[in-house]
């Protein structure tokens, strides 16, 4: 922190001055010495011998200038880096101090209690996360310091390499470096590639060499001046081999696993950086050559015949380790190449044997998981376009049923006899990509809220609309792969308004419910889905096998429908129609959702029903355990829902237990209690005495409440009956 970095620029000036002096000597030597061997006064074998020697010396003067200029350039580059990185250390310290930390000379952070109020000191003393917070600031500074150390080491690597004469054909051994350059990262790339190729060939690599490879990747993964020469030297096949090797080493060397997986992450970041959109002819040449080699090696096996690793599988496994985003064009090209290769060989991504730690055989699904971190790329990749018949066909291939759709690869445990099982991770990447593509945000983590539902772009809505239609091809929407359930439930919940209007059969011009419309609806930049009610119900049913997803969709549609009721005007209008219509919608929607829940329970054993009764109750606002993906709705509706919270599973169970009995009578009202609870909460908030059985106070809103309850019960029965019909229960 106290070094005078200007000494570097002074040194660089002197090296450049030296190059200038060498140029003068070169000119004099060329004129006064080398020129003698070329003149007419000296001929014969001695002149020829002298000329060859003089040529070498003349070239050495030139090489000395090249080397001196390169050293000057390296020093200036180092100065620039050190100034910038030291500034980042200072900034990190200032940020920690601004967060009321004291910072020791060694960068250790502790909360400065002298800057706190008495109440803040009391809170801090009892904060169980205080040490974690202090360590986070210490780590923040340490990371900035490490960047300086990494740059310093990289400079040392370059300074040692720049003076080496690697050309043994120029007449000198250990002379000046005629090919010297002023690029620190270029020298680091060369050294890193040499170590990588040693690893790939199975040669012994020392701990020091491995540590230097780790440092070089960590320091330079975000720099094209390093990543492109490095990957260019080892090639796409070498990149695949290096990734496989690091995974294998991490599996067998548990003590170094963290270090090795960190190297994987930086290798992945190097790939992400190197394959960004080319901006120069040199970058375009690298990109074209690397992707060409990747395509050539992607279908090759890099493992044993009884436990192979396809090139694409290993490569995408490394990509999955990155914390940098990949270029959309690169991911799209890679995805299309892999789909095309799979269509030629449907068993390309089948896992044969035990597999390999960290590497999924199904590279397509793994790549979709990588895409999910960049929602715009996921949307563009999966969007079939305004005319699906003229689109790229990716979404239908991945989600569809029947001829032409993807045969999702299995795990082949043995060839003789052939034993196949489902991939336990199958469809996980697709589910994640669909959530990102349809919502515009990366997949939600456990307990994370979805925020306010929508709005959606036309492309997002097209992906959602076509996903539902493709999954429901042949009325098979109630059979959705398990690993897609949570992601699709999150996505469907984000279309709460569209779902509501489709299930309640509102706005026929926009939604065309119950039959639906072929295309999405669109108004200016906003868009939404207009699928058939039957398809929506079946896909909702398909993703609600688990308690978490059942809670999410049930609560989302309940909350949204109730919000419409809460937001009704103070005056109910003629015949209370302004209040009755949203109450009718509430009943219709809750009837459908309970019909879906009833079908889930009906398909499970009595023991499972008992388990659901005990555990699958909606207690989000009671116990504070957030439901993943639950949208954020209006405060007024949320307040009344809080006050009227009930166990949602009771309605679904009541529906299931009554389903067979009601099938012959056509009466489908069992389970309506929860809907009544919501309408009662609404009425109480407007001053209605719902405990007065005869409206003794002649309150006109009491009559509205009574009418709303009856209308809701009728529409609830209709909704439940529709769900039963769509799900084959009627």
pLDDT in tens, 304-325: 878 899 999 999 999 999 999 9
Residues 139 and 263 placed together within one structural domain of the fold: no
Report the 3 state secondary structure along 130-153: HHHHHHHHHHHHHHHHHHHHHHHH
Q: Within 543-604, where are the H helices?
A: 547-566, 577-602
Peptide bond into 514 cis (omega under 30): yes
pLDDT in tens, 418-447: 788 999 999 999 999 999 999 999 999 988
Least confident of 230-234, 365-369, 418-422: 418-422
Q: Are 77 and 182 in contact (CB under 8 A)?
A: yes
pLDDT in tens, 118-151: 999 999 999 999 999 999 999 999 999 999 999 9
* R_g over Cα of the chain: 35
- Residue 679 domain flag: yes
Q: Within 126-223, where are the H helices?
A: 130-162, 184-201, 207-220
Average pLDDT over residues 216-245: 95
- In angstroms, rounded to a whole number, what is the distance separating the alpha carbons of residues 97 and 123? 19
- The separation between the first and the last C-alpha atoms of the chain, rounded to the nearest angstrom, is 78
Q: Which two tokens stand for residue 98?
A: 């601004």
Average pLDDT over residues 624-643: 72
Q: Which two tokens stand for residue 642?
A: 């809080």
- In angstroms, rounded to a whole number, what is the distance separating the alpha carbons of residues 454 and 526? 9
Sequence-distant (≥ 6) Cβ neighbours of residue 245 within 8 angstroms: 199, 200
Kindly state the DSSP code that residue 67 receives in the 8-state scheme: H
- In angstroms, rounded to a whole number, what is the distance separating the alpha carbons of residues 26 and 275? 43
Burial call 252-283: b when 16+ CB within 10 Å, e when fewer: eeeeeeeebebbbbbbbbbbbbbbbebeeeeb
Residues 159 and 198 placed together within one structural domain of the fold: no
Q: Are 600 and 544 in contact (CB under 8 A)?
A: yes
Residues 161 and 192 placed together within one structural domain of the fold: no
Is the pLDDT at 623 greater than 50? The verdict is: no
Residues 621 and 683 placed together within one structural domain of the fold: yes
User: How many other CB atoms are there within 10 angstroms of residue 125's CB atom?
Assistant: 11
Torsions phi, psi for 202 (to 5 deg): 85, 10
Q: Which two tokens stand for residue 463?
A: 């992906």
Is the pLDDT at 622 greater than 50? The verdict is: no
- Place 15 in a pLDDT band, splitting at 50, 70 and 90: very high
Q: Can you state the angle between helices 533-542 and 496-504, rounded to 10 degrees?
A: 120
Q: What is the mean pLDDT of the chain?
A: 89
Least confident of 363-367, 468-472, 555-559, 619-623: 619-623
Residues 12 and 147 placed together within one structural domain of the fold: yes
The pLDDT value recorded for residue 589 is: 95
Residues 569 and 696 placed together within one structural domain of the fold: yes
Is the pLDDT at 633 greater than 80? The verdict is: no
Sequence-distant (≥ 6) Cβ neighbours of residue 61 within 8 angstroms: 22, 25, 26, 29
Q: Which two tokens stand for residue 169?
A: 């054909």
Least Cα distance to 348 among 287, 314, 381, 299 occurs for: 299
- Residue 56 domain flag: yes
Average pLDDT over residues 79-89: 96
Burial call 346-377: b when 16+ CB within 10 Å, e when fewer: eebbbbbbebbebbbbbbbbbbbbbbbbbbeb
Number of domains comprising the chain: 3
Query: Max CA-CA distance within the chain?
Result: 135
Q: Which two tokens stand for residue 440?
A: 């515009």
Residues 89 and 159 placed together within one structural domain of the fold: yes
The domain boundary residue, chosen from 344, 359, 374: 359
- Residue 621 domain flag: yes
Least Cα distance to 635 among 563, 557, 554, 553 occurs for: 563
Beta bridge partners of 352: 412
H-helix or E-strand spanning residue 675: helix 673-685
Report the 3 state secondary structure along 366-422: HHHHHHCCCHHHHHHHHCCCCCHHHCCCHHHHHHCCCCCCCCCCCEEEECCCCEEEC
Sequence-distant (≥ 6) Cβ neighbours of residue 502 within 8 angstroms: 511, 513, 514, 516, 529, 530, 531, 533, 536
Cα–Cα distances in angstroms (integers) from residue 156 to residues 64, 184, 212, 376, in the given order: 20, 9, 12, 41
Is the pLDDT at 481 greater than 80? The verdict is: yes
Collapse the DSSP code of 109 into the 3-class scheme (helix H, G, I; strand E, B; otherwise coil) and give the result: strand
Torsions phi, psi for 108 (to 5 deg): -80, 130
Torsions phi, psi for 414 (to 5 deg): -155, 150
Collapse the DSSP code of 687 into the 3-class scheme (helix H, G, I; strand E, B; otherwise coil) and give the result: coil
Collapse the DSSP code of 307 into the 3-class scheme (helix H, G, I; strand E, B; otherwise coil) and give the result: strand
Q: Are 658 and 621 in contact (CB under 8 A)?
A: no
- Residue 624 domain flag: yes
- In angstroms, rounded to a whole number, what is the distance separating the alpha carbons of residues 440 and 460? 7
E-strand ranges in 483-530 read 521-523, 526-528
- Residue 670 domain flag: yes
Kindly state the DSSP code that residue 170 receives in the 8-state scheme: S
Torsions phi, psi for 523 (to 5 deg): -135, 110
User: How many other CB atoms are there within 10 angstroms of residue 152's CB atom?
Assistant: 14
Cα–Cα distances in angstroms (integers) from residue 195 to residues 177, 210, 218, in the given order: 22, 7, 15
Q: Which two tokens stand for residue 492?
A: 């469907």
Least confident of 33-42, 491-500, 609-618, 662-671: 609-618
Residues 140 and 11 placed together within one structural domain of the fold: yes
% of the chain at pLDDT higher than 70: 92
Is the pLDDT at 512 greater than 60? The verdict is: yes
Q: Are 455 and 526 in contact (CB under 8 A)?
A: yes
Is the pLDDT at 516 greater than 50? The verdict is: yes
Q: Which two tokens stand for residue 260?
A: 């090795």
- Place 239 in a pLDDT band, splitting at 50, 70 and 90: very high
Average pLDDT over residues 96-104: 97
User: How many other CB atoms are there within 10 angstroms of residue 503's CB atom?
Assistant: 27
Q: Are 74 and 158 in contact (CB under 8 A)?
A: yes
Residues 202 and 328 placed together within one structural domain of the fold: yes
pTM: 0.86
Residues 136 and 232 placed together within one structural domain of the fold: no
Cα–Cα distances in angstroms (integers) from residue 351 to residues 315, 368, 369, in the given order: 15, 18, 18
CA angle 214, 335, 201 (to 5 degrees): 35
**Torsional sign, CA 499, 505, 507, 513:** positive
- Residue 96 domain flag: yes
- In angstroms, rounded to a whole number, what is the distance separating the alpha carbons of residues 84 and 420? 56
The pLDDT value recorded for residue 654 is: 60
The pLDDT value recorded for residue 659 is: 53
Residues 126 and 233 placed together within one structural domain of the fold: no
User: How many other CB atoms are there within 10 angstroms of residue 190's CB atom?
Assistant: 17
Is the pLDDT at 686 greater than 90? The verdict is: no
Strands 411-414 and 351-352: parallel
- Place 389 in a pLDDT band, splitting at 50, 70 and 90: confident
The pLDDT value recorded for residue 612 is: 45
Q: Which two tokens stand for residue 441?
A: 């945000």
Residues 141 and 249 placed together within one structural domain of the fold: no
Collapse the DSSP code of 303 into the 3-class scheme (helix H, G, I; strand E, B; otherwise coil) and give the result: coil
pLDDT in tens, 598-615: 888 777 654 454 444 443
Collapse the DSSP code of 527 into the 3-class scheme (helix H, G, I; strand E, B; otherwise coil) and give the result: strand
Strands 419-421 and 526-528: unpaired
Domain that holds residue 570: 547-726
Collapse the DSSP code of 605 into the 3-class scheme (helix H, G, I; strand E, B; otherwise coil) and give the result: coil
The pLDDT value recorded for residue 645 is: 52
- Residue 229 domain flag: yes
- Residue 479 domain flag: no
């Amino acid at each position: 922190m106290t070094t005078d970095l200007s000494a570097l620029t002074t040194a660089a000036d002197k090296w450049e001055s030296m190059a200038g002096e060498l140029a003068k000597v070169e000119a004099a030597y060329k004129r006064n010495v080398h020129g003698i061997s070329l003149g007419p006064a000296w001929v014969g074998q001695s002149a020829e011998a002298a000329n060859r020697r003089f040529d070498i010396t003349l070239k050495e003067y030139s090489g000395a200038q090249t080397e001196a200029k390169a050293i000057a350039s390296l020093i200036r580059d180092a100065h620039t880096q050190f100034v910038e990185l030291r500034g980042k250390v200072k900034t990190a310290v200032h940020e920690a101090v601004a967060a009321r930390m004291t910072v020791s000379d060694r960068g250790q952070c502790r909360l400065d209690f002298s800057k706190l109020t008495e109440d803040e000191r009391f809170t801090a003393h009892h904060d169980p996360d205080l040490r974690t917070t202090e360590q986070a600031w210490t780590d923040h500074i340490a990371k900035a310091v490490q960047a300086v150390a990494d740059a310093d080491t990289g400079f040392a690597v370059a300074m040692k390499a720049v003076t080496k004469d690697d050309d043994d054909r120029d007449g000198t051994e250990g002379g000046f470096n005629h090919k010297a350059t002023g690029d620190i990262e270029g020298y680091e790339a060369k050294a890193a590639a040499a170590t990588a190729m040693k690893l790939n060939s199975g040669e012994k690599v020392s701990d020091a060499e491995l540590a230097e490879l780790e440092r070089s990747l960590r320091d330079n993964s975000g720099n094209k001046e390093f990543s492109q020469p490095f990957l260019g030297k080892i090639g796409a096949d070498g990149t695949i081999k290096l990734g496989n090797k690091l995974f294998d080493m991490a599996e067998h060397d548990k003590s170094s696993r963290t270090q090795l997986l960190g190297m994987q992450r930086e290798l992945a970041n190097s790939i992400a950086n190197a394959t960004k959109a080319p901006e120069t002819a040199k970058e375009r040449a690298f990109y074209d050559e690397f992707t060409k080699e990747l395509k050539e090696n992607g279908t090759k096996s890099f493992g044993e015949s009884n436990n192979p690793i396809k090139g694409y599988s290993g490569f995408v496994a490394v990509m999955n380790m990155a914390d940098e985003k990949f270029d959309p064009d690169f991911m799209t090209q890679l995805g299309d190449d892999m789909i095309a290769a799979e269509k030629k060989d449907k068993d390309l991504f089948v896992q044969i044997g035990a597999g390999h730690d960290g590497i999924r055989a199904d590279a397509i699904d793994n790549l979709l998981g990588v895409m999910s971190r960049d929602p715009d790329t996921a949307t563009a990749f999966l969007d079939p376009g305004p005319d699906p018949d003229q689109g790229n066909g990716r979404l239908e291939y991945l989600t569809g049923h029947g001829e032409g759709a993807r045969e999702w690869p299995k795990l082949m445990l043995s060839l003789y006899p052939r034993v196949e099982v489902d991939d336990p991770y199958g469809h996980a990447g697709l589910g994640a990509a669909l959530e990102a593509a349809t919502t515009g945000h990366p997949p939600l983590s456990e307990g994370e809220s979805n925020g306010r539902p929508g709005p959606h772009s036309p492309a997002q809505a097209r992906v959602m609309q076509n996903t539902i239609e493709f999954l429901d091809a042949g009325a098979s929407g109630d059979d959705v792969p398990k690993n897609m359930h949570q992601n699709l439930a999150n996505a469907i919940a984000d279309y709460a308004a569209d779902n509501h209007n489709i299930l309640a059969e509102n706005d026929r011009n926009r939604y065309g419910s119950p039959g639906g419309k072929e295309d999405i609806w669109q108004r200016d930049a906003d868009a939404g889905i207009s699928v058939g009610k039957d398809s929506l119900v079946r896909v909702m049913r398909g993703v609600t096998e688990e308690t978490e997803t059942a809670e999410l969709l049930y609560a989302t549609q309940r909350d949204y429908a109730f919000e419409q009721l809460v937001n009704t005007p103070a005056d109910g209008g003629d015949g209370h129609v302004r209040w009755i219509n949203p109450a009718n919608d509430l009943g219709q929607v809750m009837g459908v959702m309970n019909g879906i829940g009833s079908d889930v329970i009906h398909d499970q054993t009595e023991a499972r029903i008992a388990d659901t009764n005990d555990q699958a109750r909606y207690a989000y606002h009671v116990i504070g355990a957030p439901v993943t993906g639950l949208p954020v709705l209006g405060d007024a509706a949320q307040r009344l829902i809080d006050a009227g919270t009930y166990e949602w599973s009771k309605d679904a169970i009541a529906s299931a237990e009554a389903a067979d009995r009601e099938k012959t009578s056509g009466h489908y009202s069992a389970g309506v209690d929860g809907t009544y609870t919501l309408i009662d909460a609404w009425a109480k908030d407007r001053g209605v005495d719902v405990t007065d059985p005869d409206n003794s106070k002649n309150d006109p809103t009491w009559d509205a409440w009574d009418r709303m309850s009856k209308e809701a019960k009728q529409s609830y029965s209709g909704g439940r009956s529709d769900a039963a019909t769509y799900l084959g229960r009627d």
